[in-house]
Amino acid sequence: GENVEQHPSTLSVQEGDSAVIKCTYSDSASNYFPWYKQELGKRPQLIIDIRSNVGEKKDQRIAVTLNKTAKHFSLHITETQPEDSAVYFCAASGNTPLVFGKGTRLSVIA
């Protein structure tokens, strides 16, 4: 089955800097790659997703890139703000349910 690896597990950045979180997946049939943000004590919430027919997608300060050949995808957050501090999860799915990475705890230091 699918296996999703996520790195790093923790990330600290200064406010205003960029943050990058990377994920790799194992199943070449996977074609949907969402990213979820979970604030402390809250539910996971979708922030952006990308499908296999697209190489990059942007939404304001957030972007996701996908390299199907290498089986990896990345989340990029620019001009980080304190409210970006949270745990971020990547996930992948094809014909089977989503498999999540173990998460990255992002801390934005003011």
Residue 50 to residue 46: CA distance in whole angstroms: 11
**Minimum distance between the CB of residue 14 and another protein, rounded to whole angstroms?**
25
Tell me: does residue 11 bind another protein (CB under 8 A): no
Residue 84 to residue 19: CA distance in whole angstroms: 10
Among 9, 18, 28, 81, binds another protein (CB under 8 A): 9
**Minimum distance between the CB of residue 101 and another protein, rounded to whole angstroms?**
6
Stretch that binds another protein, among 59-67, 69-77, 78-86, 92-100 (CB under 8 A): 92-100
Nearest by Cα to 64 from 81, 85, 29, 88: 88
Where on the chain is the footprint of another protein (CB under 8 A)? 6, 9, 31-32, 34, 42-46, 49, 51, 89, 93-103
